[in-house]
């Protein structure tokens, strides 16, 4: 037998109205159609739900059991439908995203804030971790997608370029390099360097860019804020991508675009290839693409990405 929410509503309406005519109105049906509906339900169940006399309509003793179950079942069905719609329309939900620490601290918060304004009912979760960690979180389904610099296996992951992130020299005011017009990679070779850890994507790009030149490493730390402090104190210079510059500008350091063709890291949106993103996740994904990190106008007047 096929019992639907419509049927349950009809039964409950009749229980409450104790009158076919009024219950029919509540169900937007003519009274005979409503009568037939109740009859059909009763036939499907195999026994009467209501005891009718011309002047009175009331539940049978078995009908009374049915009523309480029916109310619960109808509430469950309605809640189920509402919940589905809420998720589909992004009134409810949850998005988990992984992002490189530089993005998580600089550009992403504004995007998340806008997302939250648009979809206040959706819970957000952010993992700020290095690229390998980001990819692992995507693989392990801990996050819906990641903002990372390394694109993983193409069979497992679907990647899309978010932006290209050019590299900048950072040095203290008064440093010899601060006066150089166009800084080239080989200009840096003689100066002591403060580095990020080898596991960071920034460092890996740098190593590749300098090869086969050597760098004079004085210190190696985990966090960009530490790098900024060390450079500020005159321990060395550093080279970092554009999206991290807010750290150094806040610290009152000189930042200068590096004249180095091909020295740029690419930031990708990375997600699992199988399945699709939830409505909530897709909306954040799309918003990220809309609010691309705006490249600053470089001294040379070129834009990094079209």
Q: Residue 218 in contact with residue 139, Cβ under 8 Å?
A: no
CA distance linking residue 3 with residue 71, whole number of Å: 13
Q: Rule CB under 7 A: is residue 52 a binding residue for DNA? A: yes
Q: Residue 280 in contact with residue 238, Cβ under 8 Å?
A: no
Q: Residue 193 in contact with residue 218, Cβ under 8 Å?
A: yes
Nearest to 97 by CA among 141, 151, 158, 156: 141
Q: Rule CB under 7 A: is residue 36 a binding residue for DNA? A: yes
Q: Which one of residues 54, 154, 290, 297 is an interface residue with DNA (CB under 7 A)?
A: 54
| Residue 31 interacts with, from a second copy, DNA, none (CB under 5-8 Å by kind) | DNA
Q: How many Cβ atoms sit within 10 Å of the Cβ of residue 306?
A: 4
With a CB cutoff of 8 Å and minimum separation 6, the contacts of 77 are 5, 8
Q: Please, which residue, 39 or 85, has the CB nearer to DNA?
A: 39
CA distance linking residue 109 with residue 130, whole number of Å: 17
Q: CB of residue 73 vs a second copy: minimum separation in angstroms?
A: 5
| Residue 301 interacts with, from a second copy, DNA, none (CB under 5-8 Å by kind) | none
Q: Which one of residues 11, 15, 37, 104 is an interface residue with DNA (CB under 7 A)?
A: 37
Q: Please, which residue, 32 or 109, has the CB nearer to DNA?
A: 32
Question: What are 149's two structure tokens?
Answer: 């610099």
Name the one range near DNA by CB under 7 A: 19-27, 76-84, 171-179, 219-227.
Answer: 19-27
Q: Rule CB under 7 A: is residue 198 a binding residue for DNA? A: no
The Cα angle at residue 43 between residues 21 and 33, in degrees rounded to 5: 30
Q: Rule CB under 7 A: is residue 259 a binding residue for DNA? A: no
Q: CB of residue 245 vs a second copy: minimum separation in angstroms?
A: 36
Contacts with DNA in 278-297 (CB under 7 A)? none
| Residue 37 interacts with, from DNA, a second copy, none (CB under 5-8 Å by kind) | DNA
Contacting residues toward DNA, per CB under 7 A: 19-21, 28-33, 35-40, 52-55, 57
């Amino acid at each position: 037998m096929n019992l639907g929410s419509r049927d349950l509503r009809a039964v409950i309406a009749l229980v409450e109205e104790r009158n076919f005519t009024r219950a029919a109105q509540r169900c937007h049906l003519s009274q005979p159609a409503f009568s037939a509906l109740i009859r059909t339900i009763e036939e499907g169940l195999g026994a009467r739900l209501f005891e009718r006399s011309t002047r009175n309509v009331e539940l049978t003793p078995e009908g009374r059991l049915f009523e309480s179950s029916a109310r619960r079942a109808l509430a469950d069905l309605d809640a189920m439908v509402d919940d589905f719609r809420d998720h589909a329309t992004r009134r409810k939900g949850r998005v988990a995203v992984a992002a490189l620490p530089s993005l998580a601290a600089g550009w992403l918060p504004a995007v998340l804030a806008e997302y939250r304004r648009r979809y206040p009912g959706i819970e957000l979760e952010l993992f700020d971790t290095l690229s390998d960690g980001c990819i692992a979180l995507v693989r392990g389904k801990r996050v819906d997608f990641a903002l990372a610099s390394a694109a993983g296996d193409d069979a497992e992951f679907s990647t899309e370029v978010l932006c290209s992130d050019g590299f900048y020299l950072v040095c203290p005011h008064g440093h010899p390099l601060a006066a150089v017009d166009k800084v080239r990679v080989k200009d840096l070779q003689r100066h002591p360097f403060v580095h990020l850890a080898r596991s960071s994507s920034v460092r890996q790009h740098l190593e590749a860019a300098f090869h086969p030149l050597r760098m004079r490493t004085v210190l190696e730390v985990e966090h960009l804020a530490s790098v900024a402090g060390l450079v500020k104190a005159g321990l060395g210079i550093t080279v970092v991508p554009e999206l991290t510059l807010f750290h150094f500008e806040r610290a009152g350091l000189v930042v200068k675009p590096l004249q180095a063709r091909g020295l740029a890291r690419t930031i990708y949106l990375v997600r699992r290839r199988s399945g699709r993103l939830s409505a909530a996740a897709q909306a954040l994904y799309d918003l990220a693409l809309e609010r691309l990190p705006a490249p600053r106008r470089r001294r040379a007047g070129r834009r990094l990405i079209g």
